[in-house]
Structure 1
Amino acid sequence: MSDAVQPADLAFFSTLAASGSLSAAARELGLTPAAVSKRLAQMEQRAGVALVNRTTRRMALTPEGEVYLERARRILDEIEQLGELLSRSNDRPRGLLRVNATLGFGRSAVGPAISRYARRYPEVEVQLQLSVTPPPLTDDSFDVCIRFGEPPDTRVVARRLAPNRRLLCASPAYLAERGMPRKPADLARHNCIGIRQGDEAYGVWRLNQARGAARATEAVRIGGSLTTNDGEIAVKWALDGHGILMRAEWDIHDYLADGRLVLVLPGYETPAADIYAVYPRRLQMSARVRSFVDFIAGEFAQPRVLSAPEAAPGARARARTAGDTPAAARDAATPDRPPKRHRPAR
């Protein structure tokens, strides 16, 4: 073998390229930035070409670096597949499993599920990375990505884990003060909490009437005083009574069940956001990927469907009184707040 390429360099360079910077790669590898820089310099010296263009904050691969990375990943994949073939006789999941999920859902659902998976499969080393937006489907830095919505890409396998609706909701206190919308056009007169995430269209909510033959989509341009890229913060704002929110059922189910949030326009449907496990086709025979996807599918199989009649009837009744006696309904909608004392007329 030529001294220009050493086997240990392949995984190092793949990690370096995926990290995006020397400092991030150092954290991932458990090294100092100086050690990473020195090793990269040694690689380039052996190869006789520059592999990376360095800047103070970021780095970019040279054309030679792109070729090196593409070949390195291909070789690493073949080594991984060889290991899978050798271990398939006993079919015991083992080795490194890299998982990606969005921040809020990753914290609330994926992380706890991985904790239980790790107890069942102790020979699998799981690395969970949470991100605001899912990585590109061409990014092979992860073995499994948990994401919302089916990806329109035949290069990956997408397994549906659970149904997941987007629902409109608000706190009883907000609805008592501002009134319950009766049709989508009413949303334009309300304070709506905005969420900017990824490439999703912002500022327009699309709704279909849930029943009836005519199912034309109504697009409503919404506005409001609060916007964030974090779904958990948006839910907290809705709980605090700041406005109407469109959020995935998995994120707000418990608040709807206990009446802290109330369904808005339950007779209308919003675009589905079903939960999928996405992974490269080359890994569909991997024991650890199959075991993880099967396990997490079982975790998410528990029904979390909340229909309008099930959602805290007392809170809905209080919210419906908003148009008649706003002050009284507002006080009734917030049981943790003492009722207002009205001064006698002079």
Structure 2
Amino acid sequence: MRNSTCALHPSIATTVALPVIYSLLFITGSFGNILTAWVFSRQASTKRTQYIYLVNLVAANLLVCSTMPFLAGYFAKGHEWTYGSDVCRAAHHLGTIVMHVCMYVTITILCTIALSQYATLKKNNDARHSQTITKNLYKCGLQKFRQPKFAKYFCIFIWLIVLCVSVTAITYDARTTKEQIFHTCYNMKVEIGEFTAKTAASVGTACFFLFFLTVLLSYYSLSRHLSKIQKNTHIGQNHMIYRTVKRNILVIQIILTVCFLPYHIFRPIFYVLLPEEDCSRINYLVEIKNFLTCLCVSRSSIDPVISLLLDKTFKKSLSSLFKKPTPEYHQRRADIFTEETPPI
């Protein structure tokens, strides 16, 4: 393995700052996502497509949060643990591997939610305003993202991939661990990876940019579509619905840009910049990578806050759980989670 002669020496930023950050993210993320799951279980209809996506998103967030204690322990004591020890394997397998796999689950579901939002709006306007190509695109693909049956099977397919990838990665890593000897758990193999890990990282990076561009094009297409409608027709009472859908896709785009884009831009640069013998630069690059990874993971913790601040539906659902039920409440409950204005 290239650069295997270099020993990694984590700085205080890694051994103190990262464990503290992960601990705080674990507390806030676990509480927020459990509360979100409770709100959905009490208020949402299981037949709603948006509900299916959101439940799976919360499940992925909780899995990411469950890896944070392992990550905190790894960065705090990984340079002291013996490589191949039980605590090292637990931190690496249940922390790093599961976290990265679930991270791409959240990215996939976010992209799916954006497409579902886009398809919801296009359904109401394609008959009068869209061109033939757009109509065919909607009929062939986009409309499926609005179907509850497709949503269930799609999410099951995602989790089956997660299971296969996780088991394969853990099994392969456990086998190669016996063939290599490192003094500490915090080492080049774990932090940089071998050929298989680099290949998986490259595939994940390519998938991210595919999803990123998909959401970006959806927002751009939606903006142009609404601009034409506003010029040629009177939107009326549906205007707020269109604005909500556009805002939701924009929020997803911002999340992908702020939380995930820096990491996926730096990841290929990271492998290119790795020198042959400059160990100090390698340590520096590894720590940048770890902090950008932490930025990715933070999305799972702040997602409930984003829902509370930006989504009126989620806010009303949360507040209604702490109020005494009224006749108006029972009438409103069935309409809280609608396909026209689905939450993030």
TM class by shorter chain equals: under 0.3
Q: Which has the higher contact order (CA 8 A, sep 6+)?
A: 2
Which has the larger share of helix? 2
The structure with the largest strand share of the pair is: 1
TM-score, normalised on structure 1?
0.22
Rg larger in 1 or in 2? 1
TM-score (normalizing by structure 2): 0.22
